[in-house]
Structure 1
């Protein structure tokens, strides 16, 4: 018996600091001006995407003690931007990354409950942790939390926030029609929570929001991160956008759900994905190669190389071979505030692999960095890209994708105009929104049962 055709979930990632944006393209605009956020969000909503995803950076990254050349000098506050976008969109979900290491549960729960009310039920929270003391220097706590304990705090943080969301029930406010006064149950909003990280008690100030709880996202890929997602998240923001790796990750995370009394439908796997479109597949391939060259200039190649070598390589020629000297092991001192340095835990082994690849293919340093720092996930004509996305989802390599364009803010326009109609024709993507909340769009439960209590 054949299974039903899966519906594809699509979302849009507004780029933060990165080397993926092609700044030299004349279409590239501000990552700070509100007009850019509005254009991006309205395009996503016009295409009937599930949500817009906004990353968060709590400190500007540095390299050799200077602000990283590819950083946007200014990171607008997540809640401020999402609240403003709630006023210029009607159905699009609004997902924000908020850190559980340097915030407090009452503050974050109040902000998300408020956003859920302002947006009529479209709020989502990407729960992340911070691992480095460098970021912590911006906060009173500094880098007090050992890396191994960060998920413990995150779990308790989320548990506490859920208790606050659930402290109000739907019928706790009763309207007296004659007097026009709203009366609350005497116990409404009351909470008390004590654990190793938090000791709070009082009354939550925001009545129950339209979704009950915001949609919960998680983005960790470690075993602890996957377990956290399986126990607590509604969706996981995955980096596994290659087909075989995606299927393996999808199966692994879904397999973990049973031990928490959850089913496969309770957690969506949504990898980040980039794309390049062309009139033909060959045209798209040519465009993709040029985009990669623009994304990794010679200066960028050196910056990315330093993140593995942990050495000052300003004088190294990016158009020459890799450095003869090996990376420096130990604490990373060249690049600070970059999560990507954690991907290269064994820098010596990474350097060996890169040397072998460069020798086999006669690659310069810049060409090597272009090769190893990522490729576009979907490259081709609109028909080819639509077919590839549908293949991933129907084969359980993903439940959908969070698209990251290389141009801001107009980078979604072509996808919305050409690929989305093809997916709609195939019956695998909505033609209109059927519900009003983000949980409706994602097919998730609403109310007290939304999200599993830890």
Structure 2
């Protein structure tokens, strides 16, 4: 029997995805844009809408990074608003475990799960840079080797808060017309190296019990964290074989945590460009990538690796012959601008070799090395290729990242989705009432008997 494909939508805002110059590109902060994308995703029977969030605007060369969205509304506020205009779509928010506290985050997600009827999801992320930490009252930051340790304890603590309500503590008193509460309801006490809290959690158990947990780390520690605690993991692998290798690796880790293969889904982020012919689609895709990576943007990306001002370089010229500046990154500030390469000098060498082999300019090289996984072609060929990835265990579904906001999913919803449905690999109706149901995840274990709740 064929595997069923899962689909999700990403509303960009902290990357170079959106083509700002396209006249169809509308507001990135008005609620109408979020609503349009969410309604399209629900019309196409997507599992969830995913919002990314940064805790501080990035800076480069002392100026606000030109690809950040200034004025982006708070994630919980947007998701709560979307809960009122959708019925089935899951609502996933990126919330940081480094600069927040378990009680407030658990309370916000439990409330969202109640308001949405069981559709909340939490993408657990970390930060370690002091620049972001300056925004918070205690400042500071965590060394990189401690960020997943805190994230794991943060998540386990939040689970204790969610599970402090069993679900049967509130009963109606028919004589008085009031509700009676078991005095033990919401009681918690948690103490470890990161948290020392005790009291009562004041939000009763929500429809899902806990939000669906997402994780987006690709490091070994990130994969292990996902295998131990997440319901789904996001990845950026761009080829079939790389996806299959990643899929096999995270799935093999699950038994070590007492979990089965069906308890963790794998979602790569992907873009889709459609055309009446494959040739037309590839022409459109090349045009979109050049719109996404202007000459100025290409230089900004290059500066992040070289760690120095390169504004005097011609983006249509060759890469610099000198090496990156070693040590702490001082040209780029902010969580999403920290160095993604552990050995910048080695990466620069690889980029030079690639540029020489393909005769690429700086801009052309950046277009190539920053591209995400893409499906390019006719609706029929895209549907076939997406299905191939899922059936060959390169993933369980996809998070679609449109290059236009808010109408970037409309064409996919109208052309590709019906073809997947015809193949019998994609739903025609939502099967359940909660996000966990629609993702096909196993029911949560009883919090009173689950070893996964142990502190």
Aligned to 1:138: 135
**1:342 maps to which of 339, 343, 360:** 339
How far apart are 1:350 and its partner, in Å?
1.0
Secondary structure, aligned partner of 2:340: helix
Aligned to 2:32: 35
User: What pairs up with 1:144-159 in 2 under 5 angstroms?
Assistant: 144-159=141-156
Secondary structure, aligned partner of 1:175: strand
Structure 2 distance, partners of 1:148, 1:281, is 45
Contact 1:308 1:341 (C-alpha < 8 Å) held by counterparts? no
Contact 1:312 1:334 (C-alpha < 8 Å) held by counterparts? yes
**Correspondence 1:235 to 2:232:** yes
Aligned to 1:107: 104
**1:293 maps to which of 290, 294, 297:** 290
**1:194 maps to which of 173, 191, 205:** 191
Aligned to 1:45: 42
Structure 1 distance, partners of 2:444, 2:274, is 40
Contact 2:113 2:207 (C-alpha < 8 Å) held by counterparts? yes
Structure 1's unaligned 5+ residue stretches are none
Structure 2 distance, partners of 1:251, 1:107, is 36
Q: Deviations over 1:61-113 (max 9, x none)?
A: 10001001111112211100000100000000000000000000000000000
Aligned to 1:6: 3
**2:323 maps to which of 294, 309, 326:** 326
Structure 1 distance, partners of 2:358, 2:427, is 44
Aligned to 1:19: 16
Aligned to 1:446: 443
Contact 2:262 2:442 (C-alpha < 8 Å) held by counterparts? no
Contact 2:237 2:373 (C-alpha < 8 Å) held by counterparts? no
**1:413 maps to which of 373, 397, 410:** 410
Aligned to 1:370: 367
Structure 2 distance, partners of 1:322, 1:163, is 52
Structure 1 distance, partners of 2:142, 2:341, is 22
Q: 1:52 to 1:438 in 2, by over 3 A?
A: same
Secondary structure, aligned partner of 1:206: coil
Secondary structure, aligned partner of 1:213: coil
Q: 1:375 to 1:55 in 2, by over 3 A?
A: closer
Aligned to 2:85: 88
Contact 2:270 2:372 (C-alpha < 8 Å) held by counterparts? no
Structure 1 distance, partners of 2:335, 2:85, is 33
Contact 1:175 1:183 (C-alpha < 8 Å) held by counterparts? yes
Secondary structure, aligned partner of 1:377: strand
> 30-39 vs 142-151, which deviates more?
142-151
Structure 2 distance, partners of 1:339, 1:18, is 8
Secondary structure, aligned partner of 2:376: strand
User: What pairs up with 1:420-435 in 2 under 5 angstroms?
Assistant: 420-435=417-432
Contact 2:58 2:336 (C-alpha < 8 Å) held by counterparts? no
> 45-54 vs 239-248, which deviates more?
239-248
Structure 1 distance, partners of 2:220, 2:347, is 21
Structure 2 distance, partners of 1:167, 1:422, is 45
Structure 2 distance, partners of 1:262, 1:442, is 17
Q: 1:422 to 1:402 in 2, by over 3 A?
A: same
Contact 2:6 2:46 (C-alpha < 8 Å) held by counterparts? yes
Q: Aligned residues, how many?
A: 451
- TM-score for the superposition, normalised by structure 1: 0.97
Aligned to 2:313: 316
Contact 1:292 1:375 (C-alpha < 8 Å) held by counterparts? no
**1:222 maps to which of 215, 219, 222:** 219
How far apart are 1:447 and its partner, in Å?
4.2
Secondary structure, aligned partner of 2:345: helix
Moved over 4 A (4+): 447-451
How far apart are 1:446 and its partner, in Å?
3.5
Q: 1:413 to 1:98 in 2, by over 3 A?
A: same
Aligned to 1:259: 256
Aligned to 2:301: 304
